[in-house]
Chains A and B, each alone.
Chain A
Amino acid sequence: SQQGEEDPQALSIQEGENATMNCSYKTSINNLQWYRQNSGRGLVHLILIRSNEREKHSGRLRVTLDTSKKSSSLLITASRAADTASYFCATDIQGGSEKLVFGKGTKLTVNP
């Protein structure tokens, strides 16, 4: 079974709008990572947030983590057509090996 679950499964917005994707997980974690994937191939790492952190920023990306609710969100501000991709959250489970457990992803489409 998958640990993480992204919501929504698909999101379509206009260029310039903000996009918010959510991730929920089931067990305690060491860290949570967000990845982007274009065309079903290699994953590009976006942000890693550790369990003792609540918010991180990187350029137009903002990630929050609420360990009490076991949830995270990824906000992309001022979206561009080039942001069109699938976005995955992945958790490093506490007490487990260093493997990542991925959700099914959110497919984001940014229309020009």
Chain B
Amino acid sequence: GAGVSQTPSNKVTEKGKYVELRCDPISGHTALYWYRQSLGQGPEFLIYFQGTGAADDSGLPNDRFFAVRPEGSVSTLKIQRTERGDSAVYLCASSFIREDTQYFGPGTRLTVL
């Protein structure tokens, strides 16, 4: 079956612009996670969905970041007024049940000029 997919694979934008990053989880997975990875670092947690609701959004760095999962499947991470410091690889993962293995997508590399 298909794994987690993310689009676009690369996104270049200008400072101050709005971007949307999409994640398609593995079919049937109820949990979905967003992480951000800067160069030379491990991934850092942003937000976790269980179904349609955000169960933990403690990792979102500020109110410019927002994520939705309206039908409990596809999720969109939205970043307003992008800053150069937002440049990173944004990773999405999904899992079937609590405490189960998280399967990661290939990531979206965001570059803010």
Contact = CB atoms under 8 A, between A and B. Distances in A.
Interface of A: 2, 4, 30-31, 33, 35, 40-45, 48, 88, 90, 92, 97-105
Contacts of B79: none
A99 B42 contact: no
B106 A99 contact: no
A43 B101 contact: no
B12 to A, nearest CB: 16
Given A40-B39, A41-B89, A99 B45 contact: yes
A100 B92 CA distance: 12
Interface of B: 31, 33, 35, 37, 39-45, 48, 50, 55-56, 58-59, 89, 91, 93, 95, 98-107, 109
Nearest to A99: B45
30 contacts: A4-B42, A30-B99, A31-B99, A33-B101, A40-B39, A41-B107, A41-B109, A42-B91, A42-B106, A45-B104, A48-B101, A88-B42, A97-B55, A97-B58, A98-B48, A98-B50, A98-B55, A98-B99, A99-B33, A99-B45, A99-B48, A99-B56, A99-B59, A100-B43, A100-B45, A100-B102, A102-B35, A102-B42, A104-B40, A104-B42
A17 to B, nearest CB: 25
B105 A42 contact: yes
A44 B103 CA distance: 7
B41 A104 contact: yes
Given A31-B99, A97-B56, A99-B48, A42 B104 contact: yes
A90 B101 CA distance: 11
Contact of B98 (A2, A4, A45, A98): A98
Best-surrounded residue of A42, A44, A103 (most CB of chain B within 10 A): A42
